[in-house]
Structure formats: C-alpha cells, structure tokens
Amino acid sequence: MTDQFAKKSEAWSARFSEPVAELVKRYTASVDFDKRLALHDIEGSLAHADMLQSVGLLSATELDAIRGGMATIRDEIERGVFVWSIDLEDVHLNIEKRLTDLVGDAGKRLHTARSRNDQVATDIRLWLRAAIDDASALLAALQGALVDLAEAHADTIMPGFTHLQVAQPVTFGHHLMAYVEMFSRDAERLADCRRRVNRLPLGAAALAGTSYPIDRERVARTLGFDGVCGNSLDAVSDRDFAIEFCAAASIAMVHVSRFSEELVIWMSPRVGFIDLADRFCTGSSIMPQKKNPDVPELARGKTGRVVGHLTALLVLMKGQPLAYNKDNQEDKEPLFDVADTLTDTLRIFVDLVGGIQAKAARMRQAAAEGFSTATDLADYLVKKGMAFRDAHEAVAHAVRRASDAGKDLSELSLEQLRTFSALVGDDVYAVLTPEGSVAARDHIGGTAPAQVRAAVARARARLSAG
Ligand code: ARG
C-alpha cells in the first residue's frame, strides 16, 4: 500500500505542499488516451496564438517561435518519437511543456487567455468533426454498395416476413433498399449533429470568459468553425454534442445489427438465401464443414458496446453542476471507441455487401411457400366486387383446404377455388404467382421491380448530390 501512495518528486505548483500520490497521479492522468487529440491540440493552439498576436498579446517573433516549435512537435508525434509523460497529466500539458523546452518564454505565453477547459472542449470538437466526416463518407459508400446490389436484384423474388413468418413476396432489391433508407437517415442525423459540434468553445477560458481583448470570431474562422459557443459556462461543460454523436452512431449500428441478423439467418443452410464471400467468414476448429458469418455476428455484438457507451456518456453528464468538472475527462474513451467501432464496421460492410451472392432459385422457392399470395387472392375478390372482410374469410377457407391437401393456393383447381367464391375466374392464377404479386405493388415505396429501379435512381441522385 505504501508503494501506491509513494510521493512523486515535484508538487503540482507552489500552492501545494506535497506532491500528488503515485496512484492518484495514475488515476487522474489522461495522457494515455487523450494523446490521440494531439494534432488537433496543436491546430487549436496555433489558431489561438495567431489570435493572441493579432490583438497584441504576443509579438510577431513570439508567434514565429511558437509556430516553429509546434512544427517540430508535430513532426516528433508523427514519427512516433515524442516522449509522453504521465507526470504531465494530459495531452495539453505534455505539448505545452515540450513547446517551452523548445522555444522558451514564447511557449510560456501561449496559455494566456486560455484554460485547459476550453482547450479540451475545442480539441474534442475538432476531432469529432473529422470523425463525423469519415463516418458520413462511409455511410454514403455503404448506401452505394447496397444500391448496386438492389439494382442487380430488382426482379429477384424472395419471401417478405412479418413475425419471421412468410407474409407476402417481395423483391430482394426492395428489401435491400429498405436499408438504404435507414442509412440515409443515419447520414442526415450525423450531418445535423455536425452543425452543433462545429462551434468554437475557445475564449470561454476556465468558465467565465477572460479579461483579455480576445477575438473569438477570428479563431473560429481559422479553425473552420461555423461560429462561437454563445455562453462560456456551457462551452466548457456540456458534452451534449458527443452524446448526440453517440446516439446517432448507436442508431446506425442498430441498423447494421438488424442487417447482420438477416445476413446470419439468410446464410444459415436451413434458409440458404445468400452466401458471403469467404474473406468475411471463418471455419470451426472442430467441425470441418462449417463456414460461419463471423463479421455480421461481431457487428451485431459490437452494437451492444456502442449503445453501452452512449449510456455511459448520458450518465456521465446527468449529475454535473455547471461548469467544468473533471468527470468530463471520462468522455474520451467511450467517444473514441464509438467512432472507431462505427467506422471500422461501416468500412467492412461496404466490402461485405459487394460480396453478397444471392441464391435466387432458393429465394423464389421460399417465396412461393407459406401461402404468400393469400392477400393477392383476397384483393382479387375485392376487385370483382366482394367486401374485403368477406374476401378475407373466403380466402381463409381456401388456405385451410389447400393446407389440408398439402398444396399451394395456385395448385387448387378452378373448380375447387370456385367453391369459396363464384367470383373466381380463370384469370385468378395470374395473381397467385409471386411474380404477379410483386408486380401488382406498383406505387412509390412498393416492391414492384419498376419501383425498385425508381428507388435506385432516386438514391443515386441523392448520393451524387452529396
Ligand atoms: N484532461 C482534462 C479533460 O480531459 C483537461 C481539462 C482539465 N481541466 C482541469 N481544470 N483539470 O477534461
């Protein structure tokens, strides 16, 4: 125990009479994970220094020295030779100390009119903005891959399910386009979230603003922000923008997870609707015949961890009084992991979708099972003048008869069908095929092959408009 509470050599500042305990130092340090913000920290510092010089708080020579020192530091970080020290707690103090070692007094002036509180909030927003741009590009690529596959399968018939029971025939292209709709809303959510991420906290300083004549708009412009955060207390303390990103990412992952679940079911030999390219599957160490859909299964599993991180950030925030509290240091690991998991998953799925092999004959066969055209028969009777409720009942009797005889509706003779309604004529067989069933659903949002092609064209136009 005494080891853990051993003293480090130096106290935090002259205000302290003893150094922080070793375990406390490790407990409070964030450099191991927040060094990931380093390049954004430098970018923010350079914009801040430029502003300080523009309002007369730094000389041109000092600004040059800071720029030179930061270039060296960036280079050291990129080459992997920068020495990170846990004694310096976080990314901000590590870089500032190295800058001062390199350029002396100019480095000591950089922190004028700034606090780590507005600095870290700025860094995270810069980092997250880039992460959102990556994820958005991948969502567009994934939609593109799904659209291509949907077009190739605009006419491929498969069973549509409700309650995982065969319901009505659909086209595989239509089914895939459902996911394009989902991922397109996910992209919209990210774009909307980005607008709120893209605001500058710097200038809020520790919490109340600063007494120096700063120019926040200039810093915002330099960093490509759309504007400044309007309240200093809010700027340093709230992480709603990160929570919002995690919420949008969670919804996107839930969509990936639903798709994954379907891929797993479709690939089961019992179902046999698709095959996935071998590079996304693994074998079994004991059962030589196995080809397992590991990637979709893992994506489904990783969705749990993303949703967990969203919960972590919500709970992190809920009890915090204004303004900054150290709790917020705990925002980074969940946020980083959400972004990493989302972008890795999307990147893999772009390729995975391109490698999906549909087994059209098996799908077609399954679509004809389970009386999937029963609704079409009822609709046929309605079009001949029967009330829908009566038609529903007549077809229920027909299904029961066919089921008892081990036949499909289309295998009942005209005579047999006419025992359920005299309205049945020999044109009835056209509506009892899966092809007739899907072709009849020919309105916007319907499953008809022509509508799938129209949806594909709309999606392509939207994607190319960006
Ligand atoms: N490492 C800290 C964080 O991530 C930086 C801000 C610390 N500010 C402070 N006053 N302790 O939140």
Residue 389 lies in a domain: yes
- Mean pLDDT of the 239-262 span: 98
228 and 264 inside one domain: yes
Residue 270 lies in a domain: yes
351 and 439 inside one domain: no
Token couple for 138: 């991948």
346 and 451 inside one domain: no
Q: Is 163 a catalytic residue?
A: yes
Q: Encode pLDDT of 272-285 as tens digits.
A: 999 999 988 888 88
Residue 2 lies in a domain: no
> What is the distance in A from the centroid of ligand 1 to the CA of 246?
21
Mutate to test the pocket of ligand 1, among 84, 207, 329 (most ligand atoms within 8 A of CB): 329
Q: Is 284 a catalytic residue?
A: yes
- Mean pLDDT of the 409-416 span: 93
290 and 159 inside one domain: yes
How far is it, in rounded angstroms, from Cα 252 to Cα 132?
Answer: 12
Q: Cα–Cα–Cα angle for 265, 270, 276, nearest 5°?
A: 50
420 and 406 inside one domain: yes
User: Could you give the number of structural domains in the chain?
Assistant: 3
Number of H helices, E strands in the chain: 20, 6
Domain boundary pick from 347, 364, 381: 364
Q: What is the CATH number of the domain that holds 395?
A: 1.10.40.30
Mean pLDDT across the chain, nearest whole number?
95
**pLDDT of res. 1:** 40
Name which of 129-143, 223-237, 287-301, 326-340 the model is least confident about. Answer: 287-301
Q: What is the CATH number of the domain that holds 79?
A: 1.10.275.10
Residue 217 lies in a domain: no
Q: Is 30 in the pocket of ligand 1 (CB under 6 A)?
A: yes
How far is it, in rounded angstroms, from Cα 407 to Cα 428?
Answer: 16
Residue 8 lies in a domain: no
Task: Please determine, for residue 4, whether its predicted confidence score (pLDDT) is greater than 70.
Answer: no
Domain range for 170: 117-212+224-364
Residue 4 lies in a domain: no
Give the count of alpha carbons within 13 A of 269, CB side only: 4
308 and 327 inside one domain: yes
Q: Is 410 in the pocket of ligand 1 (CB under 6 A)?
A: no
Name which of 1-10, 18-27, 276-285, 367-376 the model is least confident about. Answer: 1-10
Contacts of 375 (CB under 8 A, 6+ apart): 168, 395, 437
- Give yes or no for a contact between 240 and 310, defined as CB atoms under 8 angstroms apart: no
Residue 447 lies in a domain: yes
- Rg of the chain, C-alpha, whole Å: 31
Name which of 244-248, 292-296, 326-330 the model is least confident about. Answer: 292-296
Catalytic residue, candidates 9, 13, 17, 163: 163
How far is it, in rounded angstroms, from Cα 50 to Cα 119?
Answer: 15
Q: Encode pLDDT of 336-362 as tens digits.
A: 999 999 999 999 999 999 999 999 999
Task: Please determine, for residue 10, whether its predicted confidence score (pLDDT) is greater than 80.
Answer: no
**pLDDT of res. 2:** 44
> Which residue CA neighbors atom 4 of ligand 1 most closely?
329
73 and 188 inside one domain: no
> Which residue CA neighbors atom 12 of ligand 1 most closely?
329
Q: Is 447 in the pocket of ligand 1 (CB under 6 A)?
A: no
